[in-house]
Amino acid sequence: MEKPFAPACERNREPILALLSERFADRRRVLEIGSGTGQHAVHFAAALPHLVWQCSDVAAHLPGIRLWLDEAGLSNTPAPLQLDVNDGLPRGDYDAVFSANTLHIMAWREVERLFEALPETMSPDGLLVVYGPFNRDGRFTSASNAAFDAALRAGDPQRGIRDLEAVDALARGAGLSLLEDREMPANNRCVSWRRG
């Protein structure tokens, strides 16, 4: 099996790392939800060696993630966890949770489950950072995001770019407060919340 490769990860990893370097400077244990290929994990874990970076994804992605982790041979990337948000999140003491490009892929009910389960996995002062496309005030932020949303929904009507306000309402329901909504290249955003 060849390592899976997502070109977008090569393009977005430096801007995301710049934000995580600030945001996660005082963090110790990160749970990544929907690690995908594992490319982000090896890049971020190598650059942020003070963190333990715990990858996770549904079962089908784990072999590919293992290939990336094994090749990188980092000491701060434990074996990936099998994690489907429909089954809840691991009970734990993660002081940070990170997820990239997942909320528009999950069905809305799955996004709700993710946020409902966050308090089980996050420490009382935990941070959540979510990267990806979002709508603002019920509107697409670009024509390319509108086209992307149409393509997503044509493939699966349960997918689609989420409204940041609706996601923030779920976050507030889970006891999280919005810290920052940062614009990122290519009409993406990095949204940070703090528990408590």
Ligand X SMILES: C[S@@+](CC[C@H](N)C(=O)[O-])C[C@H]1O[C@@H](n2cnc3c(N)ncnc32)[C@H](O)[C@@H]1O
Give the footprint of ligand X on this chain (CB under 6 A). 6, 9, 33-36, 40, 57-58, 61, 83-86, 100-102, 105-106, 110
Q: Rounded to the nearest whole angstrom, what is the least distance from the CB of residue 55 to ligand X in the complex?
A: 10
Give whichever of 67 and 105 is closer to ligand X, judged by the CB atom. 105
Q: Rounded to the nearest whole angstrom, what is the least distance from the CB of residue 85 to ligand X in the complex?
A: 4
Give whichever of 6 and 18 is closer to ligand X, judged by the CB atom. 6
**What distance in Å separates the CA atoms of residue 188 and residue 102, rounded to the nearest whole number?**
12
Question: CB nearest ligand X: which residue?
Answer: 36
**What distance in Å separates the CA atoms of residue 192 and residue 179, rounded to the nearest whole number?**
5
Give the phi and the psi of residue 146 in degrees, each rounded to 5: -65, -40
Shortest CA distance to 96 belongs to which of 178, 25, 31, 191? 31
Give whichever of 80 and 126 is closer to ligand X, judged by the CB atom. 80
Shortest CA distance to 119 belongs to which of 195, 30, 35? 195
Q: What is the dihedral of CA 67, 83, 103, 14, to 10 degrees?
A: -30
Q: Rounded to the nearest whole angstrom, what is the least distance from the CB of residue 151 to ligand X in the complex?
A: 13
Q: Rounded to the nearest whole angstrom, what is the least distance from the CB of residue 42 to ligand X in the complex?
A: 12
